[in-house]
A = this chain, B = another copy of it.
């Protein structure tokens, strides 16, 4: 009814990117293909080349679109570390909403994505205020936080990114079986872990635990 290919209006960058986002969320990045996208939009594959130089530019557009929806929740009056944590939390939230985002961000250099540039600048400013006055170190810390967040959602327990509940259960069962196939004498920890893997995980606990770890890294050394 409202969908893009029924009402045949003119193709636009925005329409393509939105459709790409829909596709990526539903079937993963690997489904986002020039030809497939064109088909969904009721158009010839070559039509996309009018709006995008090549596929890479399209993917950049996609990443930017997924990130643009993120609204910053940090408050300027909070202490720097609190604001930094808020930024990480919004980033994680964005990747949880759009499972393909984590994989996409992993490749693209953070300097190449416009929506990340603003965030990086702000992070550098906050980091300078807590003592990372060398901007190169600051950049390293910012990268650490970005990739740490990516890592968190990439290894979210339960199932790999997206799956319907039925598949997820089967996937966990399979994972448990794999772990239990290990010789228990040589792998005591992993066989113990096997027994915990089938029950659905407490994701909120996982993420606060994970972000705590991440943030501890930027704080002062203790060892």
Interface of A with B (CB < 8 Å)? 81, 103, 106-107, 109-112, 117, 120-121, 124-125, 128, 135-141, 143-144, 146-148, 150-152, 154-155, 157, 160, 175, 178-179, 182, 186-190, 192-193, 196, 201, 206, 209-210, 212-223
Contacts and interface: CB of A to CB of B under 8 A. Distances in A.
Contact of A155 (B143, B152, B206, B223): B143
A51 to B, nearest CB: 23
A125 B221 contact: no
Given A110-B155, A213-B217, A223-B216, A189 B140 contact: no
A138 B213 contact: no
A105 to B, nearest CB: 10
Contacts of A175: 111
Contacts of A106: 103, 106, 154
